[in-house]
Structure 1
Amino acid sequence: MDSFKLASSCIRPSGADRITLARGVYRLVRWSPPPVNWRKINVNACWRRNFLCGNIGIVVRDSYSGCNVVRSVRVHAFTIEMVEALAVLEGCLLANNLQLLEVVIESDAQVIMRSLNSLSLSCDWDLFPNLIPVLEIGRSFQSCSWSWVLRATNRAADFVARNISPEMCGFSWVVRPPSSLVGILNKDGLPCPPL
């Protein structure tokens, strides 16, 4: 019965898939692909207060909605904001290592994205050391934009951050990701490899 519920949840929109515009009026919210020849790097983080550590999830997708890279990273951090800033940094480092030229970095961490988009880089002092290298790497791309998105459109990176240990991420994920991640990618309307 549990597998039936999981399969059904991938087909029917849930409360997390929609936003309320007015009483009884909803809009479905989905991940959208980047412009042609660009890559979209979705990042998210989860933090374990008791252990002062967190996991970062990174999902790189192309303009044809193809999932190119899935990565999980474990970090030590004192706050969730610090883990979110490190998630953006890890996403930028990965994009740089992949020698991508045109990227959109997406996160549901509004404070971090707002800081990166403001000229003054107004943020908490403890985030500043992590955001300076993010901006430096961002300048190395031909084109780079920082985008805040709703949590519902960042589900794939959230899933990786919450459920996948860094040891489990491998090259085979590009060809054959875990079935639980395939369900999330399908909800985003993306073509996915067969199970």
Structure 2
Amino acid sequence: MYSFSAPFARLVWALSPIPAPPEGIMMQSLYSNVYHVLSVQKAYPRDDIQADIVLWLLWRLWKNRNEFLFKGKEYEARSILKRAEEDAEEWQRKQQAEVSEAERLGVKRPMITNHVSSWTPPPTNWLKCNSDGSWHKDKATSGLRWICRDENGHVIWAGARSVIKATSPILAEAEALKWGAETMASFGYNNIIFESDLLALVRMINGSEEVWPVLQPTIEVIRSTLSHIQKFDVRFSLRGENKAADRIAKESFTFVSSIPKLYSIVPVWLKYQVRSDNTMYQKNVGE
């Protein structure tokens, strides 16, 4: 057994499949080491490395540090690596299950409706906030966006920002929902329905699915923020019901700065999609 120390952490990384920096195994500063492991995929694009395990190793090292400090528990380096590998495998299985669930919903929906899915307004005296996060393996940034509308389809607030690339698509989705919830809560709004087209994220926020370690901090903030809203609901929506947020995403990729942008007046580039959502809803209701 080993006590939890810097040499012990270096041993864990030495046993892992992550390439060491040119100067040696984690012999640089803390920030340099963190930057190295988080950018390993970009640094070794042609090598067959298991970059997905990085976040799980960081999580396990942090968790086991706390258990050593507060509970006196000690772990072998190989045990930590094995647990991180199991975490990564479980995450991959859940991602595959999520895709299968989405495909299942996509197949079954035409059987219960004969019109294209579209945004629907919230009940009277409620607001609906649709969020979305954009992530692309070839882009250095991620986009966060959300749009909040009332029962008449009028835009109350919308937000768009470009941030340093999230470590995964689901984390970008979670950060977008978190930002929308934080903004609406800080403005004092109540009676809000939050919608995301990522089913696993919705289930984790609602407590019907175990929270993935990589999302734990973000979801804790989301839950804390929601507790300050008098009435709220977090729901899953099909991608066709989230087109306005998606339109904001396309625009956010053109931003030259990371300064968050809030809109209380619908920008010109978003007006068409907002009108289209309202028209489509009225058409579907009339059918």
Q: Quick check: TM above 0.5?
A: yes
What are the superposed Cα offsets for residues 90-109 of structure 1, whole Å, 9 maximum, x if unpaired?
Answer: 11111112210111111111
- Return the alpha-carbon distance in structure 2 between the equivalents of residues 51 and 29 of structure 1: 30
TM-score (norm 1): 0.77
Q: Secondary structure at the match of 2:120?
A: coil
Given the superposition, is the C-alpha separation of residues 130 and 168 from structure 1 closer, same or farther in structure 2, using an over 3 Å criterion?
Answer: closer
How many residue pairs were aligned?
Answer: 168
State the match for 2:185 in structure 1: 96
Task: Point out the more displaced range, 160-169 or 76-85.
Answer: 160-169
**Letter aligned with residue 103 of structure 1:** I
1:170, distance to aligned residue in structure 2 (A): 5.5
Match of 1:178 among 268, 271, 275: 268
**Letter aligned with residue 194 of structure 2:** I
- Return the alpha-carbon distance in structure 1 between the equivalents of residues 218 and 250 of structure 2: 22
Identify unmatched segments of 5+ residues in structure 2: 1-108, 280-287
State the match for 1:118 in structure 2: 207
Given the superposition, is the C-alpha separation of residues 74 and 168 from structure 1 closer, same or farther in structure 2, using an over 3 Å criterion?
Answer: closer
1:148, distance to aligned residue in structure 2 (A): 0.6
Conserved 8 A contact 2:133-2:144: yes
1:82, distance to aligned residue in structure 2 (A): 0.7
Identify unmatched segments of 5+ residues in structure 1: 1-18, 191-195
1:168, distance to aligned residue in structure 2 (A): 8.9
State the match for 2:127 in structure 1: 39
TM-score (norm 2): 0.53
**Letter aligned with residue 188 of structure 1:** D
- Return the alpha-carbon distance in structure 2 between the equivalents of residues 152 and 127 of structure 1: 25
Q: Secondary structure at the match of 2:123?
A: coil
Q: CA RMSD in A?
A: 2.5
**Letter aligned with residue 72 of structure 1:** A
Q: Secondary structure at the match of 1:83?
A: helix
- Return the alpha-carbon distance in structure 2 between the equivalents of residues 168 and 115 of structure 1: 26
User: What are the equivalent positions in structure 2 for 1:12-161 lying under 5 Å apart?
Assistant: 20-21=110-111, 26-76=114-164, 77-118=166-207, 122-161=210-249
- Return the alpha-carbon distance in structure 1 between the equivalents of residues 278 and 259 of structure 2: 28
Task: State the percentage of identical aligned residues.
Answer: 21
Larger strand proportion, structure 1 or 2?
Answer: 1
Given the superposition, is the C-alpha separation of residues 43 and 170 from structure 1 closer, same or farther in structure 2, using an over 3 Å criterion?
Answer: closer
- Return the alpha-carbon distance in structure 2 between the equivalents of residues 122 and 184 of structure 1: 35
Conserved 8 A contact 1:57-1:159: no
